[in-house]
Structure formats: structure tokens, C-alpha cells
Structure 1
Amino acid sequence: MPVKRILEGPSSGFWAEADYGRHNRIAWRTCDFKFDFKRRSVGNFGGFAPAKPKLTKELHIELMRLVITMPVRNDWDAAFQLCRRMDATLRQVPDIRARVLLIDDGSTTCPVQKDIPSNLLALERISMLELRRNLGHQRAIAVALAHLRQSWEADALVVMDADGEDRPEDILTLVGAAKKAAAPTAVFAERGKRLETVTFRAFYQVYRALHHVLTGRDIRFGNFSYIPWTYLDTLVVFPELWNHYAATFLKSGLPYVRVHADRDKRLAGRSQMSFVNLVMHGLSGLFANQEVVGTRVLIIVLLGSVLLLVGLASVLAVGMFTRLESPSWSATLVGLLIIVLAQALIATLGLIFLITMNRSQLGFLPIRDYAYFIRQETTLFER
């Protein structure tokens, strides 16, 4: 039930004038407001109604239209539990109208009707975008962003995982950080405490270091983010969005801030992300910035070649101008290094050539091609 206005009285705090919804019930969403109730007749509605105080001031609250989208592949139990927790969290905030879009990424199981959340007070609608095939969570997000840009209207978008590792309580943290910004700004959740295995965390640190060396950017965040709706106009025309959402955002140059948010445990089920998928996800993040990566690799190879030439000149100088004898294996080692660096230089030049050729080909364009992958959109819950 949408609140029309908030009125302040001298003795009874705040009084909310609301539209009376179906079943003649009043659904109050309160944060720090205090209400004065008394039993009185209100025509055909009956029941309890707020005592209307003497009005001294009218306060207008600007409602934020928020869309939350999450890719799902068979994790319906976790996704619906997350929706219920999300509803409980957003009840604390009277100025957010939230809708959820679940992206069915080629699931082999269908959501059970009895498990679909009902009697929600904060979430206005839960919809499901059914894809024709499994694309992977990054490509599912790309399709969803383009679909939302074309078919929905809102003020902001939250992208998160549906397994519960992204906590619904942190949505308020993201929204709060965005409100503090002087201009429309995206907010990404920077990972602090992680619950993965030691092996995963070790590989993740190696990936972060490699990403920083090859791109010049430190990536400490994933999908969990808040972005102004106007940012969709820019993001959906990046072909790189097809492979990596966070890296594409970095490449776009749109302003953003980071806030701390620890990961939580999965609400249900087990992760379906294999080691191969994790590696491919990391490589996709690198090559979303392929021009920078190619240039930096070329510089590293050229620097290695220069150091090799300096070393070779030093060895030759020692043999020609001193009486010191070089080890017998030094010539073999120098020869092997020359071969390796020559091959690396050739491979790097080939990579740069492919990158240059790829720049002239548009490839997948989310805003143009997303509709090919959508079967239908259905509504699971609406109040």
C-alpha cells in the first residue's frame, strides 16, 4: 500500500495518510515514526485507524524505485529464502519501493509454487526472466541489464548473487553510500572476510596480483553493487559486458565508490562453480581490458629483451676483455633465453594484432542481441 504523505503533529509524532488497500487493511511501514492509534469508525473500513492530529507541517518523502536482479540456476530454495530476508530488511526503510527480477539461467528444475514467497510487505513484485539456455552468471547478468534497460523503469539497480552469500542487509549499506554521494554514483561491495577454502583464497590473491600488474587496477569486488538507472545506457553498449560485469564497469570509467561488506554462508545447496569456470571467469576479467593487457605484456617482454641483451653483452665483455672464463653452460643458457624471449615477443605481437583486429569487430552487443536469449518474463508474486 503506497504511503501518500507523512504529516507531523505537535503531540502525536508522525501520522501517515495512506491509501486503503484490498481487504480493508492498513499496512504500516515504520522506521523512526511514532503513531497514535485509537478505535473509531471510518466509514466502510472499520477497525483501527490513526488519530488525526492537528497538522502543523507536511513532510514529503521521495520514494526510491529500486530493482534487485539475481542470476539463478536451480538454487530456488536459496533465492526464495533470500527474498524473504530481503523483504524483512527493506521493511525498515519507508522510502524504498523494491522489485526483484530473478534470472533463470537455464535451470533444469522449476520453482515450486508453495515455495514462492507470499505475504511480503516491502517487495512489490518478484518476476522471473527465463533464458533459453544456460549462459553462465556473467552473461545472464548482461542479458538482464539490457532487458531492464528496455522494459523496466526505476531509479536504481542492485546486482547480487542469489545464493545468500551477498547479504540483504548490505543493500541498505550500498544505498546509504549512494545517497551520501554528491552526484549519481555506483557503489560496489568490497570483500573483506571470505568464507572460502584456503586454496581458493590463495588463488584469488594470485589473481588479484596478476590483474593489478596487467591492467593497473585492483579488483576487490564482484557482482554485488548498486548502480544508478541512467548508467544502464552506457553499460549495455559495451561488448565486454557479455563476459565480465565488474571489469566492464571499471573499463566504462563511470564514477563509483567501494564499501566494506563481508560474505555470508550459502543459504541452501552447494556451489555449482567449477575450478575451470573460476579460471575462465578470471581470464574474462583480464581480457575485458584487452588493450591494456596487450600493451603491458608487450612492455614486459621488451624490458625482458633489453635485460637479456645487457646480460649477453656483459658475458661477451667478460670473455673478450678479461681473463676470466665463463662457465661452459653460460652459452647454452643465453641461447635458450634468446629463443624463449623471441617466442614471447612473437606471441605478444600476435596478441596485439588480434586485439587490434577485434576492435574493428563489434561482436556481441547487449542492447542489440539480448532478446535472442530470452524465452519469457513471468510474475511469481505481486501485491
Structure 2
Amino acid sequence: MAAAPKLAVAMIKKTYIAVVVPVYRGEQFVEELCNRLHATLGQIDASYSIVLVDDASPDNSWQRIKDEARKDSRVLGVQLSRNFGQHYAITAGLDNVDADWVVVMDGDLQDQPEDILTMHEKAVRDGFDVVIAERSLRTDPFLRKMSSAIFNRFLSLLSGLNLSARYGNFRIMNRNAHQAFAQMREHMRFYPAIMQWIGFRSGYAQTSRVARPHGRSSYTLVRLIKLAVQATVAYSERPLHVSIVLGLVISLAAFILGAYVIAMKLFWNVDVEGWTSLFATVSFLGGLQIFLLGIVGLYIGKTFQESKKRPLYLVRERADGAVNTAILPKPVKALPSAEQSRPTRRSTADRKGFKDNR
């Protein structure tokens, strides 16, 4: 039987600082982003790495990433097998770094690579495990600011998380925080919420967020609201608590109304006519029940997704230096043949010896 081919194991370089960047429709940003990151990280330490994760972008982002990886061995490219989403791409990047300090930032150049210097200095000087970029200046369009504010307000209200439009994914963390994040393998990924849950001593650094130089964000208001609902179900039980309180309030109101109708009939002999109000009440309660069942269904669906134990992402290809390696599935172990699986027959002497030794 021919031996199965050996697969090359991707080695993760250990560095002092690493930057993880999810890339989607970013072919116009990759080269400038890498040039500015090289200039910035070189001022901190010569030992650094840049991990660019292509989330199955439909443009030529992956080719630009491979070009940068060929030019400099400190650049690692990871291409996912399909579009998993930004927060899964961040997870894939963090799984491919081994550094004392790790930075996560967007790849559209709205987050300034030069601000990493300030964030790193504050973390080292003040002893913070995590330093979050606080946007003191934001030059996004009005609709973008409005949709972001609605998203963060909606998610904070439903989930109990302390989220704000002033904070995004841009932050730096030390090895302890990075290792803690790596233990969080739930299927629903929302990077800021996970970082908030793991805690650690956190600080803030004032940064500026400039206007997007090319194109526009793929996060529309509808997508943001959808993400808010998913994140709420994943990281909070508050909707279930609200449904319990709402059910109790409606039950109490129905009890008071029923007592009022009975009292009107017994003490004042007044017939209360209310077919219209009865129809409206029944319709309202029916719709409310369906709504609450939908909330419970979301939590059941989340549990079902988690029970599958599927990987968070799949990697199609890596670009590491001058070598581009396709990630192949592990070979399936061959089953033994019929001759190999047939039990051997023991001789009479062997069986007798076995009985004597029992």
C-alpha cells in the first residue's frame, strides 16, 4: 500500500509584534497599507509580522497579498475558502500569529497604521494588557456615522455590552489577552464583544479615523442591524429576560381588566360590550406570542449551530514569503484489508496455555 503524501505544516513565526488585517475588496489598499505598516513597525522592533486575511474577496485582493508576501517574508497571506465574514477573518489571522504584542485593525486605511506607535507606547508605559483606539476625530459620511451609532446603541441596549461608535476593532493586546481570545471558540463571532468579555486591564489611546480613500464600506444599515441581533443572541440573555417581564406585565394587565369587567357586572349590573377590543387584544397577544417564540427559536438555533462543532473557518491557501501553499484536506486513513482484519487463529497449544494461566 502506497504511503499517503506528507503535507507541509505551516510554521508560525514568533515575533515581538504582529498586525492582523482582514481584507475584503481591498486590492487598492494592500500595497500602501503594507508600506506604512513596515515603516511603523520597524520603529518599534525589527521582529514583526503582518498577517493579511483575504475573506474570499471578489476582486484581486489575494493577488496583491501574494505580491506583498513575495516581496517581504514578514508578510503572511491567508485566503479563506469562502466569505465567512470580518470577525471570522480576524480569528483566522489571530490563529496565525505568535507575538508578544498583537494589533488588529481594518484594512481600508481609515485606521492609521502610524497610531500603532501611540497605542504600543501607552500599553508598555502604563502596563495595560489591551489598548483600544478611541476615535477622537471621525470624518466618515453622515449616513455612515448615523448607522454606526444606531447599531452600537441597539446592540448595547439589547445585549448589555458597553459599545460605542468611538471604538472599533482597532486595538493592541499582549500575549496573555491574545491567548485568552484564542480559547473563545464559539461559532458566533463578534470581536469587540469577545474582547470585552475576556476583560484584562484596558486603556484607551486617542486616534483619528479618516475618510475611506477608495470605495465604500460593505456594512449597510440592514447588515449592521442583522449583526446586532446575532451578537445579542450570542452574548446576552437579556431578550429572554425582557420577554419574561413583558409576559408578566401583560398577564397583570389582563387580570386587572378582567376584575374590572366582573366588578362592573356584579356591582353595577353593566354589560361591557367589547368585541372590537376583544379582537384587538387576541390579535395583539397572538402576535406577541409568535414574536416571543421567534426569540426562543433564535437561541435554540444558536445552540444547534454550536452543537455541530464545525470549524470557524477553512483556509484555501497561504502565501508565506516566496512560497504559496494550498491547504489540502488531511488524507483519510485507509481501512485494513480483509486479510489484515481477519482474526488470527490460535493453536491448540496456545489456547491450552491461555486456560492454564487464567
Q: TM-score, normalised by structure 2?
A: 0.69
Asked if residue 262 in structure 1 is aligned to residue 195 in structure 2, the reply is: no
Instruction: Check 1:344–1:72 CA distance in 2 against 1; reply closer, same or farther (3 A cut).
Output: closer
Contact kept, 8 Å, 1:81 with 1:267, in 2: the verdict is no
Aligned pairs, number: 300
The 1:327/1:187 distance shift into structure 2, 3 A limit, reads farther
1:337 to 1:65, Cα distance in 2 relative to 1, 3 A: same
Alignment equivalent of 1:317, drawn from 259, 276, 291: 259
**Do the aligned partners of 1:164 and 1:267 also contact (CA within 8 Å) in 2?**
yes
Task: Judge conservation of contact 1:67–1:157 (CA < 8 Å) in 2.
Answer: yes
Partner amino acid, structure 2, of 1:215: S
Partner of 1:252: 198
- 1:305 and 2:247 equivalent? yes
Aligned to 1:80: 31
**Distance of 1:241 and 1:175 partners within structure 2:** 30
Question: Which structure exhibits the higher relative contact order, with contacts defined as CA atoms closer than 8 Å and separated by 6 or more residues?
Answer: 2
Do 1:102 and 1:127's aligned partners in 2 also have CA atoms closer than 8 Å?
yes
1:8 matched to which residue of 2?
Answer: none
Correspondence for 1:126 among 51, 68, 75: 75
Q: Could you say which residue in structure 2 is the equivalent of 1:65?
A: 16
Structure 1 residues 224-303: aligned runs within 5 Å: 224-240=170-186, 243-274=189-220, 277-289=223-235, 292=236, 295-303=237-245
Residue type matched to 1:129 in 2?
A: V
* Residue in 2 that maps onto 1:177: 122
Match of residue 132 from structure 2: 188
Deviation of 1:97 after TM superposition, in Å, equals: 4.1
CA positional deviation for 1:137: 2.3
Aligned: 1:161 with 2:106:
yes
Task: Tell me the alpha carbon deviations over residues 32-58 of structure 1, each in whole angstroms, 9 at most, x when there is no partner.
Answer: xxxxxxxxxxxxxxxxxxxxxxxxxxx
C-alpha distance in 2 between matches for 1:143 and 1:326: 65
Map of 1:101 onto structure 2: 51
Q: Equivalent residue of 1:155, what SS?
A: strand
- Please report how far the alpha carbon of residue 189 of structure 1 lies from its aligned counterpart in structure 2 after TM superposition: 1.8
SS where residue 134 of structure 1 aligns?
coil
Rate the CA distance shift 1:326–1:106 in 2: closer, same or farther, 3 A.
same
1:338 and 2:285 matched: yes
Where does 1:33-48 land on structure 2 (aligned, <5 Å)? none
Residue 81 (structure 1) shift: 1.5
Give the C-alpha shift of residue 162 in structure 1.
1.3
C-alpha distance 238-339 of structure 1, shift in aligned 2 (>3 A): same
Q: CA-atom RMSD, angstroms?
A: 3.6
> Higher helix share goes to which structure?
2
Q: Is the 8 A contact 2:105 2:170 kept in 1?
A: yes
Gaps of 5+ in 1: 1-63
SS, match of residue 246 in structure 1: helix
Q: 1:90 to 1:142 in 2, by over 3 A?
A: closer
Partner of 1:7 in structure 2?
Answer: none
TM-score (norm. length: structure 1)? 0.65
In structure 2, what is the Cα distance between the partners aligned to 1:157 and 1:235? 11
User: 2:192 aligns to what SS in structure 1?
Assistant: helix
Q: Percent identity?
A: 23
Shift of 1:326: 6.3
Distance change >3 Å, CA 302–CA 257, structure 1 → 2: same
Distance 2:138 2:84 in 1: 26
Change in 2 beyond 3 A, CA 1:229/1:106: same
Alpha carbons of structure 1 residues 205 and 280: separation in structure 2 relative to 1, 3 Å:
same
Residue in 2 that maps onto 1:53: none
Give CA deviations for 1:101-134 in whole Å, capped at 9, x if unaligned: 2223324425469x85999xxx983332333433
Aligned counterparts of 1:301 and 1:336: Cα–Cα separation in 2? 18
Deviation, structure 1 residue 75: 1.9
2:140–2:210 Cα contact (<8 Å) kept:
no
> What is the CA distance between 1:313 and its match in structure 2?
2.7
With over 3 angstroms needed to count, the CA separation of the structure-2 counterparts of 1:88 and 1:305, relative to structure 1, is same
Partner of 1:139: 88
Partner SS state of residue 217, structure 1 = coil
SS in 2 for 1:140: helix
Letter in 2 for 1:70: V
1:208, distance to aligned residue in structure 2 (A): 2.0
